[in-house]
Amino acid sequence: MSKHQMVRKAGELSLKDLRHIYEQPTELALDGSDRARIEEARKTVTDLIARGDTAYGINTGFGLMANTRIKSADVEKLQENLVLSHATGTGAPLKDGVVRLVLALKATSLAQGHSGIRPKVIDVLLKLLEAEVYPVIPAKGSVGASGDLAPLAHLSSILLGYGEISHKGETLTAVEGLKLIGLEPMALEAKEGLALLNGTQVSTALALAGLFEIENVFASAMVAGAMSVDAMKGSDVPFDARIHAVRRQQGQIDTAATYRALLDGSEIRHSHDDCEKVQDPYSLRCQPQVMGAALGVMRQAAETLLTEANAVTDNPLIFPDEGDILSGGNFHAEPVAMAADMLAIAVSEIASISERRTSLLVDPKMSGLPAFLVKDGGLNSGFMIAQVTTAALVSENKTYAHPASVDSIPTSAGQEDHVSMATFAARRLHDMAENSAAVIAIELLSAAQGVDFHRPLKSSAVLEEAHGLIRDLVDFYEEDRYFAPDIEAVRRLVAAGSLNRFVETLLPSTHLGSKVF
């Protein structure tokens, strides 16, 4: 895979940039104007030390020990001790795409000239990103309050020659990883360890990864839902623009227009223009209301996360123009936690309404199709247990959807007495997106099966093309067979975003300048 290259001014990454960084190896270079601001902030720190003044984390202890003055001779040792003592993470390593985001977000934050760090430290982070030398960062151990301390300590320890790196599937020591970029372990100077450890970059990277995965689920769910309407011989009247205009909810208006476009020209639809059925079940006719609400939440969360990705979130902060060093709490990740909770609710509902449509499709009383979507029912069980799988995954998502941001547990002997839990809030989005992709995959298989039962009638041109993608991977379910590979094949189709193009061209774009949508 060729490396994506970009040059950006610090703090001006776009949502499209962030998606590129998550999805593929990336070389990021900062704009030349950044370096002067970095140098000015660094001078503010060195001037403070030269004057013998005191500032938190520069020549004091941390947390409850903030009032402990550190001797000048021990300032560098203080930074090393900070990094090593905070590298307490546990669990499986973060995947490469997330680590790429962490490196990029940390670099763009530090380069804005409010962290007091030397340019060479930022340069090392960008070299790691460019060379695909990714610090091994355990996923668990952060409460998302004084920054993502433990995971960022694992990232930072690499600079000191401790820990492990991942390079193109191989795990190496930190020293070996640094050699790959022509460097040896370095010593951190005053303020640098604290600047590296404070910040919301890990929770933000995880939340962005969740957002990007949920975008794929959302687009596939739109296609699946439209195909289910046709397979069930449902009505397209509930998607009429006039209904949604009077509700005034933009997400609902946008999704309703998309459903109309997806179903436009369907022979199946026109085959029952004169049917006597008055209303379809909610999971068919209320799709714009549910999916539109999810889209609105996704857009709001994306805006929050884009802002946070470009933010300065360490502590204390340097303001060179005034010569001030201010201690605050930008490292508290509450905005990320709440955005992640919103995304968790949205993806849970996307999967939940999909499961209901699959349940309709397998029920002959509701669908008018063969029981469990297979001929010779009784001898064949068809999609019976596939629907059970969707029920299991949806129920699991319901538990995951409980908001993490309402939890808090005091740390650091009560000094850090309210925490965001943003890192877990964001990390669980991957599991929810994975569950939901499988739920949507099963609906796509069910809806495609239903459409096939209406042959020789065809669905719309768009849905027939999507149907073809499914049939390229999975044959019509003629009789019972080993089913799991079929589901996995279509789940991968969903997770890869292969169906996104059917929706991207229909949903209006936003000021975010990329998907969502």
Q: Can you list the pairs that 119-124 forms with residues at least 24 positions away whose Cβ atoms lie under 8 Å?
A: 119/35, 119/38, 119/39, 119/42, 120/186, 121/159, 121/186, 121/188, 121/192, 121/196, 122/30, 122/38, 124/159, 124/181, 124/183, 124/186
Residue given tokens 């064949």 in the structure block: 380
CA distance 307 to 299: 12
Q: Can 56 be counted among the known catalytic residues?
A: yes
* CB distance 403 to 501 below 8 Å: no
**What is the length of the chain?**
517
DSSP string, 127-149: HHHHTT-EE--EEE---SBSBSH
- What is the spatial distance between Cα 300 and Cα 327, in angstroms, rounded to a whole number? 29
C-alpha 475/C-alpha 33 separation (Å) is 57
CB atoms within 10 A of CB 35: 16
CB 446 within 8 A of CB 386: yes
Q: Which amino acid is at 68?
A: T
Nearest residue to 86 (alpha-carbon basis) of 164, 40, 41, 151? 151
Among candidate residues 56, 259, 400, 482, the one labeled active-site is 56
User: Is the CB of residue 390 less than 8 Å from the CB of residue 440?
Assistant: no
Which residues are part of the catalytic machinery?
56
